[in-house]
Amino acid sequence: MNIIYFGQEEWEKEYVVGKLAGNEVTFVLGSLENNPDVRDDGAEVVSIFVNSRMGAAEFDRFPNAKLIATRSTGFDHIDIAEAKKRGITVASVPSYGVNTVAEFAFALLLALSRRICEASNRVKEAGSFSQANLEGFDLAGKTLGIVGVGHIGVHTARMARGFDMNVVAFDAHQDETLAKNIGLAYVSLPELLGMSDIISIHVPYLPTTHHLINNESIKQIKRGAYLINTARGAIVETGALVQALQEGIIAGAGLDVLEEEGDMADELKLLTAPHPSEAELKTVLANHYLMTHPRVIITPHVAFDTREAIKRILDTTAGNISGFAAGKPENVVK
């Protein structure tokens, strides 16, 4: 098949070409947005990452495309309705980072609970070994509330039990056998928010989860709780999080994703646009508040980013493409 692959790093080229031997692979470094002039009338497969948004204009750049192979679990960066209208199949990578993302969520939590970033910065930037105001808190005995008990949420729950934490969970689909085996209790979202010392987000981004944590629900959060988000930024309403931090409802947050993080990367364009979106401007400004808050840790959407996880992504993507070519599509987005 004729494949155009928008890669993140140069090393991917040799790996992917090897996995897809017998196909014609065009490797392009960077996202669709970073390569606006790239068009391919012959490409049957377009492989992208989450930093490439695929809507009608992008589909027009690849008029012969039959498959969009996204190298991600989420697919909210792709206009699925537009793909269906054009008869284009979309395939994703549903479970490459089960342990990887869960481990990163705990990395953020441990950094917050033991004030690791503050302690390290004090030594490196001030040359001070003072222990003043670096008191942390134990995870053992605390209640972790997991929002979304999919593959990553389940692994997070298992890790929490290893830390001797209590685990409660909210999910639209409850598996009581799983809950018994792991040792978690299903509760409603308001109950989870009210009883959790730490809340960890693991739901996919869908219309039903947009601003799941919002100005109203955030008032239900146990005072002094911590929020971890390694899922999607728009699941949490940024203004509500800022208000909760200002009022002391939330004591701190570990965020690998931000709402409108794409705009954060191109602020000048947003600010100088003839008719900038007021909502987007407010979100960008709120994100700046989060970036300077002493008890907020922000990382640049890297929870997935280990060599092992990336190879699992590439292997699954190659399998998705090969399966499609053989008339046996796998991991198709419905």
Question: Which residues are known to be catalytic?
Answer: 232, 261, 301
DSSP state of 30: S
CB 320 within 8 A of CB 331: yes
Measure the CA–CA gap between 296 and 154, rounded to whole angstroms.
25
d(CA 88, CA 44): 10
SS3 25: strand
Whole-angstrom distance, CA of residue 59 vs CA of residue 65: 8
Token duo for residue 298: 């922000």
Name, in order, each residue with C-beta under 8 angstroms of 103's C-beta and a sequence gap of 6 or more: 159
DSSP 119-178: HHHHHHHH-----TT------TTPEEEEE--SHHHHHHHHHHHHTT-EEEEE-SS--HHH
For residues 178 and 131, give the distance between their C-alpha atoms in angstroms, rounded to a whole number: 42
Q: Which residue has the tokens 């990163």?
A: 104
- For residues 87 and 66, give the distance between their C-alpha atoms in angstroms, rounded to a whole number: 7
How many CB atoms within 10 Å of residue 78? 24
Print the SS3 string covering 223-282: CCEEEEECCCHHHECHHHHHHHHHCCCEEEEEECCCCCHHHHHCHHHHHHCCCCCHHHHH
Which distant-in-sequence residues (6+ apart) come within 8 Å of 242 by Cβ? 286, 289, 290
